[in-house]
């Protein structure tokens, strides 16, 4: 399982009022694992930290990752262009929800 015990963890309460289910989260994170080697590193409160083994380095991959990060976590990624120029290329993706 990609997210062992994440939803039984009282320290991670997820993404606030967003209407995502644990299955939605698992699907997104599984896709990122397959595409970019993203692995869940840390989860607490409204925060998720992912270590990314193969971040996108080309413009098309940057745009794709930034768009997906923006769609999943608009609280962190408020500007997809900036995310594509920075966060998407990083080996650490830090996400938080209000």
Q: Are 14 and 96 in contact (CB under 8 A)?
A: no
Summary mean pLDDT of the chain: 80
pLDDT one-digit tens code per residue, 25-67: 888 999 999 999 999 988 887 888 999 999 998 989 988 998 8
- The conformation of residue 95, written as its DSSP 8-state character, comes to E
Size of the chain, expressed as the number of residues it contains: 98
Query: Is a pLDDT exceeding 60 seen at residue 70?
Result: yes
């Amino acid at each position: 399982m990609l997210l062992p015990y994440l939803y039984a963890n009282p320290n991670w309460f997820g993404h606030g009022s967003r209407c995502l289910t644990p299955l939605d989260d698992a699907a997104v994170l599984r896709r990122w694992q397959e595409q970019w080697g993203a692995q869940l590193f840390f989860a607490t409160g409204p925060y998720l930290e992912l270590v990314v083994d193969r971040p996108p380095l080309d413009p098309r991959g940057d745009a794709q990752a930034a768009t997906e990060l923006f769609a999943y976590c608009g609280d962190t990624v408020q500007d997809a262009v900036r995310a594509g120029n920075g966060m998407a290329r990083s080996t650490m993706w830090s996400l938080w929800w209000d």
